[in-house]
Structure 1
Amino acid sequence: MLLADAPETVLPPKTWRTTALRVLFWLFMLSFAFDYRAETPTTISTLVQYGFLAMAAGVTGLIVIIGAPFLAVRPGAWLLGIWALFLAFMAGNAILQDVPFTRFLKTGLPFFLTFAAMLNSHITASSGVRLAHLATPVFVVAMINIVWRIVFGLAFTSVDLDTARSEILSPALSWSAAFIGCSILLRNKFHWTMLLAIAALFTAMLLSITRSLIFPITASALATSLFFAFGLQWGAFRLQDLFKRILPVVVVVIAGLTLVVGIFVAFPNSLDRWQERLFSPTDDRNMANDPSLLTRQAEAKAIFDTLDREPLRYVNGMGVGASFYWDDDYFPELYMVYDREDLELMSSDIWFAGHSIWTYSLFSGGFIALTAFIGLFVAAIAFSISSAAANASSPGPDYWLLFLPAVASICILSESATSNPFDERLLGMIFGATFSFAQAGYVRAFHLRNADTPNQRPASPIL
């Protein structure tokens, strides 16, 4: 297997449910592997998207039916219940505030897919599926979508290599940064999947001239270094392991530099675009600030102005899918970058999920939604660390994957001030599925403690 480095000896008895749930989890993750954003929505593109959604919903139903005995396994069941209540609140909040249903569905779908992925991953993990087998479809789908977005953006939209930006970016890139960091510092062996993830991440980053990807890359390096220190403290890692991991670091640096040079030689305009993006984004336009920063400021100011007019909305927001706008005080400078007609549309009726998790959460669901999202990320990090600590006395070959939910959460958080990854359906699925990796760790720890009773059913009493 791609991520199974060695046989896992601590596993519950295999049943038909385990096999069925593993196959169904693959199908669920593959349902949105080729997800994309059509430049101009058409009947065909809409039907394709509905097909993806129907597949995800149908498989989720089968997983719930087959895996019903594992639905209430703790501690993941507690969070599933809380997130389900939050989604019910968001739906009711939007209905009561007369948000058009189609807008609510399109804007809120990533949140529901996050829950579906958490649910499916939780059930599959609780049934006793090995963590490496749970993580493999997530990795495969991430790599497929990164490559697909580049191909789709360049082949089926109006952009080319000189103008491509977000059109070729996959929502799986920040997750890939987390995977790379874990592979380098926390995995016990060098594996080619790390090189594949590096090639995918940096190709997309260099071709799209996306500076913000520097944040998750840096966050991944810092987080995995911290968690390696945790592993040393727990006795799961040894200091001499650090020297063994120098080889992957050297390989990564050489591979990265080779890739960068190769891309700049093959596409020389990319180098010029990076120089402009990094060192002179405003010089040729007589602008005081970077245009990307201006759009975020215009959006944030308008959102706070809207809430200030109805202070009670700071409690429950305006509803997912409600209209907002960009403050037109920023338009004179933005006219130098954006088409005037397109920009004027932003002054009255915008209903996508915004450029920041935090400002849009506050706008759509008030402090209730803000608290829910903060709680989700805190829980992902806490559960990840807790499950890793629970397995530290006898770390198995998949031990490094127990840190992936925490590292992925930190990588997403590193981008959250200037982007809202939950504007993408696939990101919701990948994050939700990864979140429940910790549940597999809890199940393994339970069986590790009860090794003398091998026929014990795969459940976890941990609260």
Structure 2
Amino acid sequence: MRHQYATPWIWIFLLPLALDYKATDANTGHFAQSALVLPAAAAGLALLLIAPRFHERSRLRSVVTISMLLCVFGSIVAQLVQDNDTGNYLRTLLPFMLFMLGYLVACRPWSEYRLSQFEKALFVANVISLVFTFVYGMATGGGLEDVRYRIISVTLLGLQGVLLHEFVVARRFSFFTVAVFAGTIIVELLSVTRSLLVGTVLLFLLAMALSAPTIRDIWRALARSLVVGAVLAGMAGVAALSFPTVAEHWTQRIFASEETASGKDPTTITRLAEMRNQYDQVTSSADALLFGEGYGHYYRYSPVYLPDLAGQFSEKDFYAINEWAAGHNFWVYQLFAGGLVFGIGMPLATLAALAICFFSYRYWRSVVPDAPLLPVLGRAIMLFAALPATSIGGNPLGPRFSGLVFGVALGLMIATHARLQRALPARIKRPPRPPQHHPAAMPELPGRIQPGMGRADLASTLGMSHAESTASKPNQISALVSRSSPARHSNRPNIVR
């Protein structure tokens, strides 16, 4: 009975912050923005109380959890040492707290029905964020040069990653998913943001690598991608003809370095100047290098890059820049805010987890392609891979909504990997010189499922009922759930969480 309202809590947890917006005036109080956090935080705490628990240990899950706790709670040490403005500290730390909350909620052995609810809520929330952010940005008025930064959803690449999994890996197409993906491409073109297009290309390559277990399959996928590339090029051509100002802005962005006195791209120079000042501050003393300058600490542009911005910035405007929000570079800012002890552990652990889950997925898909929960792992990998892809042009944990979404994606990825690692076969290390006449047989793997065993054994090992793993509804319409739809009230030995 205590789990009766788990599904409403999941939707309340993920939907409100999808309406979060980028304010046009940083000096104006935004009660609505703060009010959106309260239901999400309350629902997250409720889900933590009713969530199931793992009974087996996982080294990967432990490392990621410890690094997350050090990142969030370790920031108190830097705050006490540096004595930053409390309001700036809390506002900058809030997305990281939502990131940790989303991870702790999703990193649980939820039933297949609850996992489908998480994935549906994530997809709906990302679509709402895409539409709401675009409409709100255009409604704020001004030309494209003024609103192009406010029409981009903070989880646009995450939504693209999930859709690319559906198109490339699962090979499922529907009018709605294709239309949503086309909408994300149009927003990218209107925003005139080069880093977003680079991120889309990287996610597309990752999806191809997930779908192709061998090198030959990768080449075949590349051949098929030429068709997708032609379609995207056609969309870009239509957008250029329909919006001549957009094509003009893209031309200016691509050839921006040729129009400056220094011959260098001004956007790249400002990012480098910001990172250089953060690095100089954090390496100025041993305490700062160990514990960081703290979240919400002020930083400027390094004067080393002032000559490279000649004609773009006056010296007065250059030295007037004084920021405290999360920087544009996720990796350097983590070192700047948390130092060697509390800052770099979480990014390195999440990258390592992404790589481990990626190679595990490729191996399991080639050995047991129809294993339960394997599609959930693939979608979680693509969604969380948007975090490093977004970091190309900004800090993915700067906004609140992206922090929550990427935290849930990380939790789903780690939890699903832990369950599959226990159930599916591990990679066997081959001997350096196998016998020629008597090849070595596959050794017995205690506690693991051998390749070729029945699906019912996999389901029981994963803690799911046989009805959940075998039930199939071919007419089910969903971009985020597998074709096997679980029975909500099936007779199972464990309580459905």
Determine the C-alpha separation between the residues in 2 that align with 1:311 and 1:159: 47
Partner of 1:288: 263
The one-letter amino acid paired with 1:420 is N
Determine the C-alpha separation between the residues in 2 that align with 1:103 and 1:269: 38
Determine the C-alpha separation between the residues in 2 that align with 1:287 and 1:204: 31
Indicate which of 123, 127, 134 corresponds to 1:143: 127
1:404 correspondence with 2:379: yes
Partner of 1:457: 494
User: Per-residue deviation at 1:104?
Assistant: 1.0
Partner of 1:7: none
Q: Is the 8 A contact 2:102 2:408 kept in 1?
A: yes
The one-letter amino acid paired with 1:48 is A
1:357 correspondence with 2:341: no
Partner of 1:64: 48
Indicate which of 68, 84, 101 corresponds to 1:83: 68
The one-letter amino acid paired with 1:111 is F
Indicate which of 320, 327, 338 corresponds to 2:295: 320
Q: Is the 8 A contact 2:61 2:418 kept in 1?
A: no
Determine the C-alpha separation between the residues in 1 that align with 2:185 and 2:408: 24
Indicate which of 353, 367, 380 corresponds to 1:379: 353
Closer/same/farther in 2, CA of residues 115 and 203 from structure 1, 3 Å limit: same
Determine the C-alpha separation between the residues in 1 that align with 2:99 and 2:55: 18
Q: Which has the larger radius of gyration?
A: 2
1:174-193 mapped onto 2 (5 Å cutoff): 174-193=157-176
1:32 correspondence with 2:32: no
Determine the C-alpha separation between the residues in 2 that align with 1:216 and 1:100: 34
User: Per-residue deviation at 1:437?
Assistant: 2.3
Q: Is the 8 A contact 2:387 2:406 kept in 1?
A: no
Indicate which of 133, 136, 144 corresponds to 1:152: 136
User: Per-residue deviation at 1:400?
Assistant: 3.4
Indicate which of 365, 384, 397 corresponds to 1:422: 397
Indicate which of 240, 250, 257 corresponds to 1:264: 240
Determine the C-alpha separation between the residues in 2 that align with 1:308 and 1:365: 12
1:299 correspondence with 2:282: no
User: Per-residue deviation at 1:335?
Assistant: 6.1
Closer/same/farther in 2, CA of residues 272 and 316 from structure 1, 3 Å limit: same
Determine the C-alpha separation between the residues in 2 that align with 1:343 and 1:430: 35
Partner of 1:366: 339
Determine the C-alpha separation between the residues in 1 that align with 2:313 and 2:130: 27
**TM-score using structure 1 length:** 0.81
Q: Is the 8 A contact 2:161 2:383 kept in 1?
A: yes
Indicate which of 185, 190, 199 corresponds to 2:182: 199
Partner of 2:305: 330
Q: Is the 8 A contact 2:130 2:152 kept in 1?
A: yes
Determine the C-alpha separation between the residues in 2 that align with 1:308 and 1:441: 37
Comparing 74-83 and 318-327, the one that deviates more: 74-83
| Aligned length, in residue pairs | 430
Comparing 394-403 and 114-123, the one that deviates more: 394-403
Determine the C-alpha separation between the residues in 2 that align with 1:72 and 1:337: 59
User: Per-residue deviation at 1:193?
Assistant: 4.5
Indicate which of 247, 252, 274 corresponds to 1:276: 252
Q: Is the 8 A contact 1:357 1:421 kept in 2?
A: yes
Q: Is the 8 A contact 2:326 2:398 kept in 1?
A: yes
Determine the C-alpha separation between the residues in 2 that align with 1:89 and 1:39: 32
Partner of 2:39: 55
Determine the C-alpha separation between the residues in 1 that align with 2:54 and 2:317: 47
User: 3-state DSSP class of the match of 2:344?
Assistant: helix
Determine the C-alpha separation between the residues in 1 that align with 2:154 and 2:244: 26
1:157-176 mapped onto 2 (5 Å cutoff): 158-176=141-159
User: Per-residue deviation at 1:351?
Assistant: 0.8
Determine the C-alpha separation between the residues in 2 that align with 1:283 and 1:192: 42
Query: Which structure is richer in relative contact order (CA contacts within 8 A, separation 6 or more)?
Result: 1
Closer/same/farther in 2, CA of residues 255 and 387 from structure 1, 3 Å limit: closer
The one-letter amino acid paired with 1:38 is A
Percent identity over the alignment is 21
Closer/same/farther in 2, CA of residues 211 and 417 from structure 1, 3 Å limit: closer
Determine the C-alpha separation between the residues in 1 that align with 2:495 and 2:360: 19
Closer/same/farther in 2, CA of residues 57 and 225 from structure 1, 3 Å limit: same
Partner of 1:221: 204
Closer/same/farther in 2, CA of residues 143 and 72 from structure 1, 3 Å limit: farther
Closer/same/farther in 2, CA of residues 30 and 411 from structure 1, 3 Å limit: closer
Q: Is the 8 A contact 2:207 2:382 kept in 1?
A: yes
Comparing 184-193 and 21-30, the one that deviates more: 184-193
User: 3-state DSSP class of the match of 1:435?
Assistant: helix
Q: Is the 8 A contact 1:24 1:63 kept in 2?
A: yes
Q: Is the 8 A contact 1:71 1:122 kept in 2?
A: no
- CA-atom RMSD, angstroms? 3.4
Partner of 1:112: 97
Partner of 1:212: 195
User: Per-residue deviation at 1:261?
Assistant: 3.4
User: Per-residue deviation at 1:187?
Assistant: 0.8
User: Per-residue deviation at 1:295?
Assistant: 0.5
| Higher-helix-fraction structure | 1
User: Per-residue deviation at 1:310?
Assistant: 1.2
User: Per-residue deviation at 1:270?
Assistant: 0.5
Determine the C-alpha separation between the residues in 1 that align with 2:332 and 2:378: 28
Closer/same/farther in 2, CA of residues 226 and 277 from structure 1, 3 Å limit: same
User: Per-residue deviation at 1:225?
Assistant: 2.0
The one-letter amino acid paired with 1:144 is I
Q: Structure 1: state its 5+ residue gaps.
A: 1-14
User: Per-residue deviation at 1:155?
Assistant: 0.9
Closer/same/farther in 2, CA of residues 209 and 253 from structure 1, 3 Å limit: same
Determine the C-alpha separation between the residues in 1 that align with 2:208 and 2:376: 14
Determine the C-alpha separation between the residues in 1 that align with 2:54 and 2:26: 37
Comparing 71-80 and 89-98, the one that deviates more: 71-80
User: Per-residue deviation at 1:409?
Assistant: 4.1
Closer/same/farther in 2, CA of residues 334 and 154 from structure 1, 3 Å limit: farther
User: Per-residue deviation at 1:173?
Assistant: 1.8
Determine the C-alpha separation between the residues in 1 that align with 2:173 and 2:372: 13
Determine the C-alpha separation between the residues in 2 that align with 1:74 and 1:224: 30
